[in-house]
Chains A and B, each alone.
Chain A
Amino acid sequence: MGSLANIQSFWLIAILVATLNGAVPLVLAAMGGILSERSGIVNIALEGMILTGAFFGAWCGQSSAAVGLVAAIASGAVLGLLHALLTQKLRMNHVVSGLGINMLAAGVTRYLSLVYFPGGLECKAIRPIFFLTAAAVLPVAVVLLLKRTRFGLRLRATGENPESARMAGVRVLPVRVAAVTLSGIFAALGGAYLTLGEEHTFSRDMSAGKGYIALAAVIFGKWNPPGAAVAALLFGLFYAVQSQMQIHNLNLHIGGVELTNPALLDTLPYFVTLIALVSVVGKSAPPAALGQEDTDAS
Chain B
Amino acid sequence: MPVPSNNQGKPDQPVSSDIVRMTGITKTFPGILANDRVNLNVQTGAFHAVIGENGAGKSTLLNVLYGRYSADSGRVLVHDVDVTHTLRSPIDAIHIGIGLVSQHYALIPALSVIENIMLGSEPVKGSLGLLNRRNAIERVTELAQQLGITGIDFNDPAGQLTVAEQQKVEIIKALFRNAQILLLDEPTATLAPKEADMLFALLKDLQARGATVLFITHKLREVMQYSTHVTVLRTGRNAGDFITSETNADVLLERMIGRREGAATSKPSSSPALVDVTRPVLSIDDVTIHNARGAQAVSGASLEVFPGEIVGIAGVDGSGQRELSQAIVGLRSVSAGSLAISPSDGASKPISLNSLSVRQRQRLGISYIPEDRHHAAMIMEFSVAENYILGHEDDKDWGGGAIQSLSKITEIANRIVKNYDVRMGARDSSAIAGDLSGGNQQKVVVARALESKPRLLVACQPTRGLDTGAATFVYDRLRVATSHGLAVLLFSLDLDEVLELSDRIAVMYNGQIAGILTRQEANADRVGELMTGGQPVLGGPN
A interface residues, Cβ below 8 angstroms from B: 148-151, 153-154, 156-157, 160-161, 163-171, 287-288, 297-298
User: Are the CB atoms of A160 and B111 closer together than 8 Å?
Assistant: yes
User: Are the CB atoms of B119 and A154 closer together than 8 Å?
Assistant: yes
The smallest C-beta distance from B66 to any residue of chain A, in angstroms, reads 8
**Complex alpha-carbon distance, A100 and B39, angstroms:** 50
**Complex alpha-carbon distance, A148 and B115, angstroms:** 11
User: Are the CB atoms of B122 and A150 closer together than 8 Å?
Assistant: yes
Partner of B91, one of A151, A171, A287, A297: A171
User: Are the CB atoms of A167 and B111 closer together than 8 Å?
Assistant: no
Question: Which residues from B are CB-within-8-Å of A167?
Answer: 66, 68, 90, 100, 102, 105
Most buried by B among A166, A287, A288: A166
User: Are the CB atoms of B129 and A150 closer together than 8 Å?
Assistant: yes
Question: Which residues from A are CB-within-8-Å of B173?
Answer: 168
The smallest C-beta distance from A147 to any residue of chain B, in angstroms, reads 8
Partner of A149, one of B106, B108, B109, B129: B129
**Complex alpha-carbon distance, A157 and B158, angstroms:** 12
Q: With A150-B124, A169-B94 given, is the CB distance from A164 to B108 under 8 Å?
A: yes
25 contacts between A and B (CB under 8 A): A149-B124, A149-B131, A150-B131, A153-B119, A154-B120, A157-B111, A157-B115, A160-B108, A160-B110, A161-B108, A164-B105, A164-B107, A165-B119, A167-B68, A167-B100, A167-B105, A168-B121, A168-B173, A171-B89, A287-B110, A288-B110, A297-B63, A298-B68, A298-B69, A298-B70
Question: Which residues from A are CB-within-8-Å of B94?
Answer: 169
**Complex alpha-carbon distance, A149 and B91, angstroms:** 20
The smallest C-beta distance from B251 to any residue of chain A, in angstroms, reads 35
A-B pairs, 8 with minimum CB distance: A169-B120, A168-B120, A150-B129, A168-B119, A169-B91, A150-B122, A160-B108, A167-B105
Q: With A164-B108, A169-B177 given, is the CB distance from A151 to B129 under 8 Å?
A: yes
Question: Which residues from B are CB-within-8-Å of A163?
Answer: 105
Question: Which residues from B are CB-within-8-Å of A161?
Answer: 105, 108
Interface of chain B, main secondary structure: loop
Q: How many residues of B contact A (CB 8 A)?
A: 32
Question: Which residues from B are CB-within-8-Å of A150?
Answer: 122, 124, 129-131
Question: Which residues from B are CB-within-8-Å of A157?
Answer: 108, 111, 115, 119
Residues from 6 to 50 in B contacting A, C-beta threshold 8 Å:
none
User: Are the CB atoms of A168 and B129 closer together than 8 Å?
Assistant: no
Considering only CB atoms, which chain B residue lies closest to A157 in the complex? Answer: B119
Q: With A154-B120, A167-B90, A170-B120 given, is the CB distance from A148 to B130 under 8 Å?
A: yes
Question: Which residues from A are CB-within-8-Å of B128?
Answer: 149
Considering only CB atoms, which chain A residue lies closest to B93 in the complex? Answer: A169
Question: Which residues from A are CB-within-8-Å of B124?
Answer: 149-150
Question: Which residues from B are CB-within-8-Å of A297?
Answer: 63, 68-69
Question: Which residues from A are CB-within-8-Å of B89?
Answer: 166, 171, 298
The smallest C-beta distance from A141 to any residue of chain B, in angstroms, reads 11
Most buried by A among B69, B107, B119, B130: B119
User: Are the CB atoms of A153 and B110 closer together than 8 Å?
Assistant: no
Question: Which residues from A are CB-within-8-Å of B110?
Answer: 156, 160, 287-288
Question: Which residues from A are CB-within-8-Å of B122?
Answer: 150, 153
**B170-184 vs A, Cβ < 8 Å mask (1 yes, 0 no):** 000100010000000
The smallest C-beta distance from A282 to any residue of chain B, in angstroms, reads 11
Question: Which residues from A are CB-within-8-Å of B177?
Answer: 169
**Complex alpha-carbon distance, A170 and B122, angstroms:** 10
Question: Which residues from A are CB-within-8-Å of B120?
Answer: 154, 165, 168-170
